[in-house]
Amino acid sequence: MSGIYIHIPFCKQACHYCDFHFSTSMKKKDEMVLALAKEIAMRKTESDSEIETIYFGGGTPSVLSNDEINFLISEVYKNYKVVENPEITLEANPDDLSAERILELSKSPINRLSIGIQSFYEEDLKMMNRAHNSAEAKKCLEEATKYFDNISLDLIYGIPGMSDEMWRQNIQTALDFGIPHISSYALTVEPKTALSKLIQTGKVAEPQDEVASNHFMILVEMLQQNGFIHYELSNFGKENYFSKNNSAYWLGKKYIGIGPSAHSYDGEKRGWNIANNSLYLKAIQNNELPIETEILTVSDRYNEYIMTGLRTIWGVSLERIEKEFGTEYLNYLLEQAQKFLNDDLLSIENNILKPTLKGKFLTDGIASDLFYVES
């Protein structure tokens, strides 16, 4: 077992681009914390090894009080074997991170903050309907870096109206705070989000792939020049600052997902909790786990390895493909990969298949072309 992910399904307000599961009503927050604690206990038989990471995701986990966070961490310790120094991450928004709150958190078991900055420009934050402003973003980093060494921040690129120079300045501002880990994503228009409606009605311009691609190349160049390792498509870390929680997902380790909409994986099957707060609470209160599971086929496991492997610094091991999935899958992979090898989008070195710099931005599309589809 590698980790426990705890989904906190509450936000102060809805960001226009977000399609994660959350509620802006805090009415059931107390009830939810107790239900999360109960699910943690109910699922303790699923873990047969030590927990290495505890991750509070969401939603916005920083809407919980420090007492509520500490209570949930203590429930993990009560029910599972935990390594001596686990990585314990809290996703947080700048508006929740006052100087007093950061000081309190630094005295708690939380040892890593993942801060949702997204942009240091006021116009971007307003367009995305973020709950914080630019001044709060900078102030919280000023305070957080006094007490926390292990900090990650999120930045979004490809935002309509964001010039290359503005994007460079966003990255530079993060670098100036000495942050050792940056997660960065292209602005994506998900169906049924407020952003999708704003674009349909012409109130916001549609993000352009060419702009996003250019921003991505700037990101890679600037961060590598500043000593960051591009260890996953959207993640950059200084040495010894890779996210242990996320690396475990990409390396196929087991994890338990607690809370509504949370996913779990045990090496053979994948499970996901119901994405409805009321139904989740009702089930847990009735001593039932509101989880659906699917047994992964050989092709499912192959496809997942291709997707995660190509996104990471570790690539796809051709030796592992042959050993775990057989010669048929290896031959299929090499055949499908040939056109990308010819176009210098993929390369093979030391029996490892990886995207080239030119191919990195196109990784997800390339991976889907390498998937094995059952006839």
- The DSSP annotation for 144-179 comes to HHHH-S-EEEEEEE--TT--HHHHHHHHHHHHHTT-
Please count the structural domains in the chain.
2
Q: How far apart (Å, rounded) are the C-alpha atoms in residues 172 and 178?
A: 10
Confidence band (pLDDT; 50, 70, 90) for 255? very high
Scanning 61-176, the segments in alpha helix (DSSP H) are 66-79, 99-106, 122-128, 134-147, 164-176
Is 292 a domain residue? no
- Do 337 and 243 belong together in one domain? no
124's CB contacts (< 8 A; 6+ apart) are 118, 156, 159, 162
Is 340 a domain residue? yes
pLDDT in tens, 71-103: 999 999 999 999 999 999 999 999 999 999 999
- Do 228 and 305 belong together in one domain? no
CATH of the domain at 108: 3.80.30.20
Which string of b and e fits 199-219 if b means at least 16 CB within 10 Å? beeeebeebeeebbbbbbebb
One-character DSSP codes across 258-277: ESTT-EEE-SSEEEEE-S-H
Query: 194, 203 in Cβ contact below 8 A?
Result: no
Helix (H, G, I), strand (E, B) or coil at 123: helix
341's CB contacts (< 8 A; 6+ apart) are 347, 348
Alpha carbons within 13 angstroms on the beta-carbon side of residue 128 total: 31
Kindly tell me if the per-residue pLDDT of 19 is higher than 90: no
Scanning 312-362, the segments in alpha helix (DSSP H) are 318-325, 327-342, 357-360
Is 261 a domain residue? no
pLDDT in tens, 290-317: 999 999 999 999 999 999 999 999 999 9
Is 206 a domain residue? yes
Query: 119, 125 in Cβ contact below 8 A?
Result: yes
Domain that holds residue 246: 3-250
How high is the pLDDT of residue 240?
A: 96
pLDDT in tens, 173-225: 999 999 999 999 999 878 887 778 887 888 888 889 899 999 999 999 999 99
Is 276 a domain residue? no
Average pLDDT value for residue range 224-244: 97
372: which 2 tokens? Answer: 């094995």
- Do 312 and 246 belong together in one domain? no
CATH of the domain at 359: 1.10.10.920
pLDDT in tens, 29-79: 999 999 999 999 999 999 888 999 999 999 999 999 999 999 999 999 999
Is 256 a domain residue? no
- Out of 250, 266, 287, a domain closes at 250
- Do 88 and 219 belong together in one domain? yes
- Do 16 and 98 belong together in one domain? yes
- Do 227 and 306 belong together in one domain? no
- Do 205 and 93 belong together in one domain? yes
127's CB contacts (< 8 A; 6+ apart) are 16, 159, 160, 204
Classify the phi-psi angles of 129: left when phi > 0, otherwise alpha if psi is within -120 to 50, otherwise beta.
left
Query: 42, 256 in Cβ contact below 8 A?
Result: no
Is 89 a domain residue? yes
Alpha carbons within 13 angstroms on the beta-carbon side of residue 258 total: 27
Is 57 a domain residue? yes
pLDDT in tens, 109-164: 999 999 999 999 999 999 888 899 999 999 999 999 999 999 999 999 999 999 99
